[in-house]
Amino acid sequence: MTTRARLLGVCLLALYLTTGYGQEGKFSGPLKPMTFSVFEGQELSQIIFQFKADPPAVTFKLTGETDGIFQIQPDGLLYHNRSLDRETRAVHRLQVSALDAQGNTVEGPVPITIEVKDINDNRPMFVQPNYEGSVRQNSRPGKPFMYVNATDLDDPATPNGQLVYEIIMQLPRVNNVMYFQINNKTGAISLTLEGSRELDPVKNPSYNLVVSVKDMGGQNDHSFSDSTSVNIMVKENIWKAPEPVEISENSTSPLPIKITQVQWNEPGAHYSLEVKEKPPTFPFSIDQEGYIYVTQPLDREETDTYVFYAVAKDEYGKPLAFPLRISVKVKDVNDNPPACPSALTVFEVQENEQIGSSIGTFTAHDMDEENTVNSLLGYRLVDQTPTVPRDGLFLVEAYSGTVKLAEQSLRKRDAPQYNLTVEVSDKDFKTFCHVHVNIIDTNDQIPIFEKSDYGNLTLAEDTAVGSTILTIQATDADEPHTGSSKILYRVTQGDSEGCLEIDTDPQTNAGYVKVKKPLDFETVHIHNIVFQAENPEPLVPGVQYNASSAATFRLIVTDVDEAPQFLQQVFQAKVSENVARDTKVGNVTAKDPEGLDISYSLRGDKRGWLKIDPVTGEIFSVAPLDREAESLYQVQVVATEVGGSSLSSTAQFHLTLMDVNDSPPRLVKEYTGLFFCHPPKAPGSLIFEVTDDDQQSFLGPRFRFALGSESLQSDWEVSGINGTHARLSTKHTNFEERVYYIPIRISDSGRPPLEGTVSLPVTFCKCVEETCFKPAGHLPGIPTVGLAVGILLTTFLVIGIILAVVFIRMKRNKGQNNAGSARASEVKPLRS
Ligand SMILES: *[C@@H]1O[C@H](CO)[C@@H](O)[C@H](O)[C@H]1NC(C)=O
Ligand SMILES: *[C@@H]1O[C@H](CO)[C@@H](O)[C@H](O)[C@H]1NC(C)=O
Ligand SMILES: *[C@@H]1O[C@H](CO)[C@@H](O)[C@H](O)[C@H]1NC(C)=O
Ligand SMILES: *[C@@H]1O[C@H](CO)[C@@H](O)[C@H](O)[C@H]1NC(C)=O
Ligand SMILES: *[C@@H]1O[C@H](CO)[C@@H](O)[C@H](O)[C@H]1NC(C)=O
Ligand SMILES: *[C@@H]1O[C@H](CO)[C@@H](O)[C@H](O)[C@H]1NC(C)=O
Ligand SMILES: *[C@@H]1O[C@H](CO)[C@@H](O)[C@H](O)[C@H]1NC(C)=O
Ligand SMILES: *[C@@H]1O[C@H](CO)[C@@H](O)[C@H](O)[C@H]1NC(C)=O
Ligand SMILES: *[C@@H]1O[C@H](CO)[C@@H](O)[C@H](O)[C@H]1NC(C)=O
């Protein structure tokens, strides 16, 4: 061992001691395959492990990838004498053998692996000092169009080799908007959303970016960085919506027709068409060159514009960019004839319409595009049927279609309807439309009577009401069944009494003259009647009813003998019921239309109370009248003509009798059930009611009550409760078990008052459950005479039998005393 070797040995030993390499296991041990991790760079030299060898081994040998750095001492101490470099060799594969004194291998070689652990001792570096790239305007945001790439020698499995890219600067930069973005892991550069929208080669054809790369994931203060410059050319986007296309409808060119093209910036894109809302037919297609075709004939009248979108996709079906809006306008050609507004247009016009008046406007329609010559319509009248009274009665304005009256006013009598044919034409087509003009009648005709005089008619005055006496007729030339031709008849003269009425037959306009009120010879016997015929509708100006609308008629009424007539059907009179006999109670009056004398008589005087003076009609009483029997006395009075046909008529005579106080008060009913229980425990009372047959004053009846005799006042008391009811009270309890008849005087409130005495039966009887106990058929305590006799006889019979028995026994048992028989005679009286 040289001095140097020994010196090193001391030095290593010191290290060995201070770092605790003496212990078995972690720092020293027997020879076996082992793996060690050692950081690169840091330590100039370091002991790794001490191998122990058992005899005969005395020394160790190291082989393998030592690179002149690893050494082993004879005592087994393995160390490196220079710092390691992972980038030079990341793993050293060594072999250690144990040798004996002769140098023969006694153990091993055993593989010892040294892994060199990375430290960040390398800067990232961009592969190129600067980059050139280009991007299409409107490229899809996020889709990379170029990459930058940096390398770092450090272990990519550790943060030391993990690189992060970042755009430090974009030049130019407007409004602080970044148009470019970089994927911080891959270095892929793409457009931002703004960049995709706003980049425009016309405004700015190139941009410069400064891109940095950092290792340590960019997170560490000790990370290394590098930067590079990236120049980007902005290229025009040829993926642009083409100009709107115009195609003529109803084209005869063979289909499909190429109409426009779209093109993606690079070849290889897949094209398709899309529609927002699917129309019923979609007559367009696109091929893989981006050419768009129309595939079916178009009809502007069905769809006049189409809007759809062209889409470019990559081979994975991902859209390459925004869809392009394709707009196709269908150009009109005059392929539609004018259409009539309806199969038949009907106008109406009044007879007296002025020349030049508009009758109606006729508007035909053309489906071709509005406000073009294709739909500009002209009108012409080509036919008028009928041509009465002449042709050319109408005209149609050439462009407005207004139908007017050309020549003269129309008359429905000439023709009620005109059929017109109107030719409507556009640039190329002609259509014929039908118009009917109906003439409306106006009330320009007056009713005319068939004759002006209906002659003389004689009628008896008793002609029945409702009978038709005459039929009159006028005619009206206006349109039938309208208010212009209907006729209303009225009587304008000769019927001031209103005896006649006239009904019109709606079909024939015949007027039926009827009797409405009885005719009366005595009032008027000759009626000079004038009939007037009129329309319900007013006449048009300038036309008036004249004498032809009136007719005359003479009605002669003849006399008929008529019965006398009472001035009233009911005569009423009122007298007091106590009027004296032969008092006049009323009168009746009748008159004979012919003025004959009248004789009066009565009928139905069932009580024989009245008589009538046959000449004057005065009525007298002949007997006492009684309101209580008949308050309203009704008889019939008869008036008979004296002479003539002795016709008679009747009326009613009602005589109301007024009350006088002539009825005494009385009990309202027969009181049989009034009773007190016997023996009475305390004085009691009963209530009874009285009435009076006289008419009562409106205040109601008022009665006063008193006992019938002074002697009763010690036992009874009577007192009124109200107008109709009174109370009868006992004054003590000493009453016998029998019926008492209590006389009570009652006076009414008439002037003068009338007094009556009633007898009120009151029974004292034994009570069972608060009701009078009555053995069948008898009142309690009132034995009938028969019953009393029966009881008496029975008692005597029993006594008789007992006496007989006693006498018989006394005969048999002499000497016995009478006591037993006396006891035997103690018989309870029969209970009644
Ligand atoms: C390390 O050891 C090798 C021989 O194994 C020697 O050549 C080299 O000079 C030594 N290096 C140092 C710095 O001692
Ligand atoms: C970056 O460059 C390295 C070395 O040239 C290469 O291995 C790697 O694939 C490149 N990465 C990219 C994303 O181009
Ligand atoms: C890298 O980008 C991702 C996603 O864009 C982001 O989540 C991550 O924070 C970024 N890393 C750094 C270091 O900026
Ligand atoms: C095309 O035009 C002809 C006449 O020009 C017409 O008869 C036909 O109806 C039209 N077709 C459509 C779909 O408009
Ligand atoms: C008008 O035409 C209708 C049929 O549409 C026919 O019934 C009528 O008689 C015609 N009128 C005239 C006046 O020709
Ligand atoms: C109607 O009677 C009048 C007189 O009462 C007489 O003058 C006239 O001639 C009579 N007319 C007819 C048509 O009998
Ligand atoms: C009444 O007028 C009609 C026409 O409206 C005419 O025919 C008739 O003669 C006139 N009658 C008289 C009495 O004037
Ligand atoms: C007959 O009664 C009327 C009222 O009905 C009366 O005016 C006329 O004086 C009365 N005549 C007599 C004689 O009472
Ligand atoms: C009078 O009194 C009796 C008994 O209290 C009662 O029943 C009756 O309704 C009364 N009558 C009138 C008119 O108050």
Name the CATH architecture for the domain at 666-772.
Answer: Sandwich (2.60)
Going by alpha carbons, the residue nearest to atom 8 of ligand 9 is 725
* Amino acid type, 306: Y
Whether the CB of 380 sits within 6 Å of ligand 1:
no
d(CA 456, ligand 6 centre) in Å: 6
Please state, in angstroms and rounded to a whole number, the distance separating the CA atoms of residues 715 and 734: 9
Whether the CB of 156 sits within 6 Å of ligand 2:
no
Whether the CB of 251 sits within 6 Å of ligand 2:
no
Q: Which atom of ligand 1 is nearest to the CA of 71?
A: 5
User: For the chain (length 832 residues), average pLDDT per consecutive 10?
Assistant: 40 39 62 86 80 84 86 87 85 89 84 86 87 88 90 83 89 89 91 90 91 82 86 90 92 90 89 88 92 92 91 90 91 92 90 88 90 91 92 93 89 90 93 94 92 94 92 92 92 93 94 93 91 93 93 92 89 88 91 88 93 94 88 93 87 88 81 86 89 66 84 89 89 89 86 82 86 59 49 60 61 49 37 38
First-residue to last-residue Cα distance in the chain: 176
434 alpha carbon, closest ligand: 5
Q: Which atom of ligand 3 is nearest to the CA of 166?
A: 14
With the C-alpha atoms ordered 153, 154, 155, 157, is the resulting torsion angle positive or negative?
negative
Report CA Rg, the chain: 74
Name the CATH architecture for the domain at 125-235.
Answer: Sandwich (2.60)
d(CA 602, ligand 3 centre) in Å: 136
**777 CB-contact burial (10 Å; exposed 0-12 / middle 13-18 / buried 19+):** exposed
Please tell me the class of the 245-331 domain.
Answer: mainly beta
Going by alpha carbons, the residue nearest to atom 14 of ligand 6 is 456
Q: Are 628 and 696 in contact (CB under 8 A)?
A: no
Homologous superfamily of 448-558 in CATH?
Answer: Cadherins (2.60.40.60)
Going by alpha carbons, the residue nearest to atom 8 of ligand 4 is 335
Whether the CB of 296 sits within 6 Å of ligand 6:
no
Q: Could you tell me which residues come within 8 angstroms of residue 529 by beta carbon, excluding any fewer than 6 positions away?
A: 491, 493, 494, 495, 500, 552, 553, 554, 555
d(CA 405, ligand 6 centre) in Å: 54
Structure tokens at 57: 């081994």
| Residue ranges covered by each domain of the chain | 3-117, 125-235, 245-331, 345-440, 448-558, 565-658, 666-772
Whether the CB of 6 sits within 6 Å of ligand 1:
no
d(CA 612, ligand 8 centre) in Å: 14
- pLDDT of res. 831: 40
Bond before 541 cis per omega within 30 degrees: no
pLDDT in tens, 603-641: 999 999 999 999 999 999 999 888 888 889 999 999 998
Whether the CB of 386 sits within 6 Å of ligand 5:
yes
d(CA 49, ligand 9 centre) in Å: 142
Whether the CB of 261 sits within 6 Å of ligand 8:
no
**160 CB-contact burial (10 Å; exposed 0-12 / middle 13-18 / buried 19+):** buried
Q: Which atom of ligand 7 is nearest to the CA of 543?
A: 5
Nearest to 470 by CA among 484, 444, 449: 449
Q: Which atom of ligand 2 is nearest to the CA of 186?
A: 13
Q: Which atom of ligand 9 is nearest to the CA of 689?
A: 3
458 alpha carbon, closest ligand: 6
d(CA 726, ligand 9 centre) in Å: 9
Q: Choose which residue among 162, 166, 184 to substitute to test ligand 3 binding: the one with the highest number of ligand atoms within 8 A of its C-beta.
A: 184
Please state, in angstroms and rounded to a whole number, the distance separating the CA atoms of residues 184 and 215: 11
Please state, in angstroms and rounded to a whole number, the distance separating the CA atoms of residues 120 and 521: 152
Q: Describe the chain by its helix, strand, coil percentages, rounded to 5.
A: 10, 40, 50
Q: Could you tell me which residues come within 8 angstroms of residue 74 by beta carbon, excluding any fewer than 6 positions away?
A: 58, 59, 60
Q: Which atom of ligand 3 is nearest to the CA of 217?
A: 13
Going by alpha carbons, the residue nearest to atom 9 of ligand 9 is 725
653 alpha carbon, closest ligand: 8
Residue 672, CB half-sphere, CA atoms under 13 Å: how many?
4
- pLDDT of res. 814: 53
Name the CATH architecture for the domain at 565-658.
Answer: Sandwich (2.60)
Whether the CB of 559 sits within 6 Å of ligand 8:
no
Q: Which atom of ligand 5 is nearest to the CA of 434?
A: 5
d(CA 287, ligand 4 centre) in Å: 29
Strands 188-191 and 150-151 come out as unpaired
* pTM check: above 0.85: no
Residue 548, CB half-sphere, CA atoms under 13 Å: how many?
9
* Residue 63, strand partner residues: 95
Q: Are 456 and 556 in contact (CB under 8 A)?
A: yes
- pLDDT of res. 9: 40
Q: Choose which residue among 470, 552, 554, 558 to substitute to test ligand 6 binding: the one with the highest number of ligand atoms within 8 A of its C-beta.
A: 554
d(CA 371, ligand 4 centre) in Å: 20
The gap from C-alpha 324 to its chain's centroid, in whole angstroms, comes to 49
d(CA 379, ligand 5 centre) in Å: 21
Please tell me the class of the 345-440 domain.
Answer: mainly beta
Structure tokens at 586: 């009323």
Whether the CB of 455 sits within 6 Å of ligand 6:
yes
Helix ranges (H only) for 500-605 are none
The fold adopted by the segment(s) 3-117 is Immunoglobulin-like (2.60.40)
Q: Are 238 and 267 in contact (CB under 8 A)?
A: no
Q: Which long-range contacts (CB under 8 A, 24 or more apart) does 578-581 make?
A: 578/624, 578/625, 578/660, 578/662, 579/621, 579/625, 580/621, 581/621, 581/622, 581/623, 581/624
- pLDDT of res. 119: 81
SS3 198: helix
The CA–CA distances, whole Å, from 280 to 4, 251, 285, 292 equal 102, 20, 15, 19
Q: Are 690 and 758 in contact (CB under 8 A)?
A: yes
d(CA 726, ligand 7 centre) in Å: 95
